[in-house]
Amino acid sequence: MLESVRFAGGTAASELLIAVAMLRELNATGRRKVFDEAPAGFVPAKWRGYLDQARKTGSSTAYRHYWELCVLLGLRDGLRSGDVFVPGSRRYADPAAYLLTAEQWGPQRVEFCRLVGKPADPGRALAEVVDELHAAVAELEAVLDDGDGPVRVDEAGELVISPLTAEDVPDEAKALKAELTEMLPFAPIVSLLIELDKRTGCLDCFTHAGGKQSRTPELKRNLIAVLLAYSTNLGLTRMAEACGISYDILAWTSEWYVREETLRAANLALIDYHQRLPLTSVFGAGTLSSSDGQRFPTRGKSITARALSRYFANEGLSTYTHVTDQHATCGTKIIVATKREAHYVLDEILGNATDLPITEHATDTHGVTLVNFGLFDLLGMQLSPRIRDLGRITLYRPGARAETEARFPHTGSLMTRKANLDLIDEHWDDLLRLAGSLKFGHATASLLVGKLSASGRQNTLAAALKEYGALRRTIYAAKYLADPDYRRKIARQLNKGESLHALRRDLLYAHEGMIRARQLEDQTEQAWCLTLATNAVIAWTTEYYGLAVEQMRRAGRRIDDEVLAHISPAHGENINFFGAIEVDIDAELAALGPTGYRPLRVRDTLF
């Protein structure tokens, strides 16, 4: 690898690059002893003791082994952070290539600042941030001043955060959900897709990969069978046996029509339809979303599979999904289970093609980094995570300790670190250019976030972004701790994501929910098929809930929207995922009747 690949980098990596060149020469010449002038300044302190010990013992062989390992580890970390790059590579290119050039950025600066609501002047921007921080800390100060609330400072000066009590779901909401469930018709999962295609045309989004325009009458039947084969994990062979369509036809349909592009378009049609349903706005405004990883075991060797004993008996992978506050899944991505989820938080938000105006995003602790806090704000959005051990994070102050503690007697002592405002001021335009490169689609968020998160202190742009992110995290923590209703709002949104995880597990029932596809492309397509089936269940249940509520209200029953907001459509009690699968589109459409809907089940009373 060292012989075949050439590396480059900035001044911060100069010693490491010299060491790489020396290691390449050692390998080429067969020399065993490291050159006397070989640099070691790039070696981290935790590894330096091995080199020192080998030098003291005079063992050139041991020193060679330790020095070579340190060079390779340094090269790996340099490639991850971007301090070292490979000319001509796409993934490991010069980090500057991921950003808009100065010539490209100049004409777009004003438009970007207008879109995200950020001033181009660093002095004004920092003044606004400091004012916002002082306002948020003042709210927390008022809470801490009470001294005996759920958020308080103990005698040792430590921040104590009592866990929120479970949200009190009204008994009326529980009873209403049971009534609605009894009124909804029973339907197999096949019928849902047929019925929703009639109203959304989602199956028309599956176009031929070769551009073929003609479509046979059986195409939709075959598409439904393929989508269910993947979303239920039956596979094409078992599906052919279950539905009576030959394996060859299903395989041909899958090859030419089912791919990520068409699956995304079909999901978009379902989400847009769901958004227009009357009951959907009761669940949420569509401005809040959340993301979380869901792990599935795998069978066979795969480039994305990893051993993780906490979750898998052997190996598995993660699907990282984005969910709106209206229960729709707007993004799905296959990631390696051992990778940091925080790198992928922004991908589906920036690539959001729905009409939902996402302005705030919730995650758990795995989706949180200082880089993400900074980038979300620079992109005009709010990152609102639920952070484990929030009381132990470092809070930043903009000024001197004495001044901060005098202004905020309770909170000031908790703000133990001073933010480097000068560094942010110096690189403010570069920070805007970085965010603009993501906003205008010049770079992939996961790639940049991963490199910036891995960058060391020598990367001044990454350091400035982390300083800015630390300020934004402090502001968020103060607001989050001061407002219990806000904390419940975030917890409620994350719970919506968990309920959709449970629905996806119910859908992916065959072969014990074990992913058998080995290639990333095939795994991605199966994940999007599962998302399509999940969104179909959500849209169908929401629509029929709305019809049942409308019938109740016509009969004189009073049903408040506040009660309906506690009812989730993420369940499959009225849907049959199992049994024989018969795809008869004409018969299913005929069963809908003149209204275009299945008749609701009749109850003895609606009161």
**Residue-wise pLDDT tens digits, 16-25:** 999 999 999 9
Is the pLDDT confidence value at 296 over 60? yes
Q: What is the DSSP string of 112-172?
A: HHHHHT--S-HHHHHHHHHHHHHHHHHHHHHHHHHSSSSEEE-TTS-EEEPPPPPP---HH
The residue ranges of DSSP E strands in 231-308, in sequence order, are 288-297, 306-307
321 phi/psi in degrees, rounded to 5: -115, 145
CA neighbours closer than 13 Å in the CB half-sphere of residue 458: 12
Q: What is the pLDDT of residue 607?
A: 41
Is the pLDDT confidence value at 604 over 60? no
Is the pLDDT confidence value at 605 over 50? no
Arithmetic mean of pLDDT, 152-165: 83
Arithmetic mean of pLDDT, 333-362: 91
Report the C-alpha gap between 548 and 180 in whole angstroms: 6
66 close to 410: Cβ distance less than 8 angstroms: no
Residue 188, SS3? strand
DSSP code at position 418 = E
| Segments making up each domain of the chain, as ranges | 8-93, 171-273+519-590
Ranked by mean pLDDT, which of 351-365, 425-439, 451-465 comes out on top? 425-439
Range from 60-64, 163-167, 393-397, 555-559 carrying the lowest mean pLDDT: 163-167
Q: What is the pLDDT of residue 172?
A: 92
Report the C-alpha gap between 200 and 195 in whole angstroms: 9
**Residue-wise pLDDT tens digits, 77-109:** 888 888 888 988 877 888 778 889 889 999 999
Q: What is the pLDDT of residue 361?
A: 97
531 close to 321: Cβ distance less than 8 angstroms: yes
Q: What is the pLDDT of residue 447?
A: 85
Q: What is the pTM of this model?
A: 0.88
158 close to 501: Cβ distance less than 8 angstroms: no
Q: What is the pLDDT of residue 457?
A: 59
**Residue-wise pLDDT tens digits, 489-505:** 999 999 999 999 999 99
Report the C-alpha gap between 410 and 143 in whole angstroms: 10
**Residue-wise pLDDT tens digits, 193-205:** 999 999 999 999 9
Q: What is the pLDDT of residue 456?
A: 66
- Going by pLDDT thresholds of 50, 70 and 90, the confidence category of residue 461 is confident
Pairing of strands 151-153, 159-161: antiparallel
Q: What is the pLDDT of residue 603?
A: 61
Name, in order, each residue with C-beta under 8 angstroms of 488's C-beta and a sequence gap of 6 or more. 164, 167
Arithmetic mean of pLDDT, 27-46: 89
Q: What is the pLDDT of residue 442?
A: 86
Arithmetic mean of pLDDT, 421-438: 95
Q: Which residue matches tokens 């393929």?
A: 226
Arithmetic mean of pLDDT, 330-348: 93
**Residue-wise pLDDT tens digits, 204-216:** 999 999 988 889 9
Report the C-alpha gap between 183 and 177 in whole angstroms: 10
- Going by pLDDT thresholds of 50, 70 and 90, the confidence category of residue 267 is very high
538 close to 327: Cβ distance less than 8 angstroms: yes
